[in-house]
């Protein structure tokens, strides 16, 4: 089974306006194309002052349209054709000037006429100087566009090309890419609350040293992202110190709340927070790698070097087992088993039964920190084996199974 991006074969029309941020769109086009999307670009007259259409034509592999094409006498009504072409339209960067013209319903340019003629969702990414963004005229125009149903992604704060620091920056291209991907993910989990544990925990030997493991949290992150893009309210109990991933804010388009990330250190903390959330969540995925042992009596301060040194360990809370035993009717629990490769099938089967999981995903030790691995998914009815699949693909497969 190969992983197909949600952007595979999607037609995307990008309208670009005359802002310095226009250069970033070249990278966006490449990234969208790499995900399998088909791209067409319309440049405003303002945009043509910044970039020659040839660059967009070369990157997209399609003609890049300008206002010179609007009134061509070639028997086609170009703005109607372009309005029907895409599955989604992105206006990025959107200038204050363009926004004002769209807000009054003008169709005096090719991009404006195309937007008036289209029925597909339109995402608008404004980019401008902070004072221009904060001007009452821009604010009123943005509000009008929101009321018309345009999907406005507010600019971010940062240092702007004009030298000022403030709100008005085009979001990072990775973020725009993620918004477009999320757009095409079927919203199968709207109204559901999903609990996911992720990453390792640490158990302190003294105040500066601890026992931990090599879990990267990647599997949990991709599960959280897939659940979020499918419309779920996600609660991620996270054992790493930082969260080095980009997740776009989708709540300006829909009532999907941004995933709540709870940073924890020890297994006890991961347990306590997961326990408090457990009864509210209909899907609970234990993808975390809590330390199974902890020093029975952690030393105060910093332990001095000495030999021999014996540290007595005790077992930590078995989060997945304890919480799975609290399961009520309709709740689904999903466990993970990291085991030695040659015993994956047997250990997986045993663990699923022992801990009363509805689903269990068994993966070999080599999975830790890797982007791809082999996985065995034990569902309530069958056992499915997957070789060398990516973690995003695993997340998609799992939620597809839950949805069927």
Ligand X SMILES: Cc1cc2nc3c(=O)[nH]c(=O)nc-3n(C[C@H](O)[C@H](O)[C@H](O)COP(=O)(O)O)c2cc1C
CA 197, CA 264: separation in Å to the nearest integer?
10
d(CA 229, CA 256): 9
Q: Which residues contact 112 (CB under 8 A, 6 or more apart)?
A: 98, 101, 102, 106
Is there binding between residue 18 and ligand X (CB under 6 A)?
yes
46 counts as binding ligand X under rule CB under 6 A: yes
Size of the site for ligand X (CB under 6 A): 16
Q: Applying CB under 6 A, does 51 fall inside the site for ligand X? A: no
d(CA 90, CA 305): 61
- Enumerate the β-bridge partners of residue 211: 203
Of 11-19, 181-189, 215-223, 351-359, which part binds ligand X (CB under 6 A)? 11-19
CB-CB contact of 333 with 323 (8 Å): yes
Q: Please identify which residue in 56, 65, 70, 98 interacts with ligand X, judged by CB under 6 A.
A: 98
Binding mask 109-138 for ligand X (x = CB under 6 A): ------------------xx---x------
Binding piece for ligand X, criterion CB under 6 A, among 96-104, 225-233, 269-277, 354-362: 96-104
CA distance 289 to 48: 53
Instruction: Name which of 129 and 393 has its Cβ closer to ligand X.
Output: 129
Shortest distance (Å) from residue 158 CB to ligand X? 13
CB 333 → ligand X: shortest distance, Å?
50
Q: How far apart are CA 352 and CA 362, in angstroms?
A: 9
**Do the bridges between strand 313-315 and strand 293-295 make them parallel or antiparallel, or are there none, so unpaired?**
antiparallel
Question: From the list 38, 44, 66, 197, which residue makes contact with ligand X (rule: CB under 6 A)?
Answer: 44
Is residue 156 a contact partner of residue 248, using CB atoms and an 8 Å limit?
Answer: no
Q: Which is nearer to ligand X, 48 or 87 (CB)?
A: 48
The CA-based angle 296-301-307, given to 5 degrees, is: 70
Instruction: Return the bridge partners of 40, or none.
Output: 13
Among 10, 19, 151, 348, binds ligand X (CB under 6 A): 19
44 vs 393, beta carbon nearer ligand X:
44
Q: How far is the CB of 114 from ligand X (least distance, A)?
A: 13
Query: Of 175 and 374, which has the nearer Cβ to ligand X?
Result: 175
Given the residues 26, 162, 281, 284, select the one marked as catalytic: 162
162 catalytic per annotation: yes
Instruction: Please name which of 10, 277, 281 lies closest in space to residue 120, comparing C-alpha atoms.
Output: 10
> What H or E segment, with its residue span, contains residue 155?
none
Does position 96 bind ligand X by CB under 6 A? yes
Residues 236-255, interacting with ligand X (CB under 6 A): none
Active site members: 162
Residues that bind ligand X (CB under 6 A): 17-21, 44-47, 95-98, 127-128, 132
């Amino acid at each position: 089974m190969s992983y197909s991006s949600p952007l595979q074969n999607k037609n995307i029309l990008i309208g670009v306006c005359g802002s310095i941020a226009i250069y970033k769109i070249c990278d966006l086009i490449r990234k969208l194309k790499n995900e399998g999307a088909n791209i067409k670009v319309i440049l405003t007259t303002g945009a043509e002052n910044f970039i020659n259409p040839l660059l967009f034509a070369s990157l997209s592999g399609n003609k890049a349209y300008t206002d010179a094409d609007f009134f061509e006498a070639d028997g086609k009504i170009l703005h109607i054709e372009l309005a029907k072409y895409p599955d989604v339209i992105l206006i990025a960067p959107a200038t204050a000037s363009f926004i004002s013209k769209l807000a009054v319903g003008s169709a005096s340019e090719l991009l404006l006429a195309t937007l008036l003629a289209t029925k597909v969702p339109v995402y608008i990414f404004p980019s401008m100087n902070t004072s221009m963004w904060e001007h009452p005229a821009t604010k009123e125009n943005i509000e009008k566009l929101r009321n018309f149903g345009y999907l406005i992604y507010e600019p971010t704060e940062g240092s702007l090309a004009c030298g000022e620091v403030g709100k008005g920056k085009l979001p990072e291209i990775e973020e725009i890419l993620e918004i477009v991907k999320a757009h095409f993910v079927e919203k199968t989990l709207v109204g559901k609350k999903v609990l996911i544990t992720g990453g390792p925990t640490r158990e302190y030997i003294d105040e500066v040293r601890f026992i931990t493991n090599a879990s990267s949290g990647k599997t949990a992150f991709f599960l959280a992202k897939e659940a979020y893009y499918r419309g779920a309210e996600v609660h991620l109990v996270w054992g790493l110190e930082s969260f080095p991933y980009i997740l776009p804010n989708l709540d300006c388009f829909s009532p999907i709340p941004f995933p709540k990330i709870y940073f924890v250190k020890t297994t006890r903390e991961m347990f306590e927070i997961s326990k408090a959330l457990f009864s509210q969540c209909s899907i609970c995925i234990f993808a975390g790698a809590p330390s199974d042992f902890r020093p029975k009596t952690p030393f105060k301060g910093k332990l001095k070097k000495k030999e021999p040194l014996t540290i007595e360990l005790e077992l930590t809370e078995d989060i997945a087992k304890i919480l799975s035993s609290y399961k009520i009717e309709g709740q689904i629990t999903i466990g993970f088993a990291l085991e030695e490769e040659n015993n994956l099938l047997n250990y997986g089967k045993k663990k699923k039964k022992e801990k009363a999981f509805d689903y269990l995903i068994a993966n070999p030790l080599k999975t830790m920190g890797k982007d791809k691995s082999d996985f065995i998914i034990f569902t309530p009815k069958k056992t499915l084996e997957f070789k060398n699949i990516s973690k995003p693909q695993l997340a998609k497969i799992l939620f597809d199974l839950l949805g069927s």
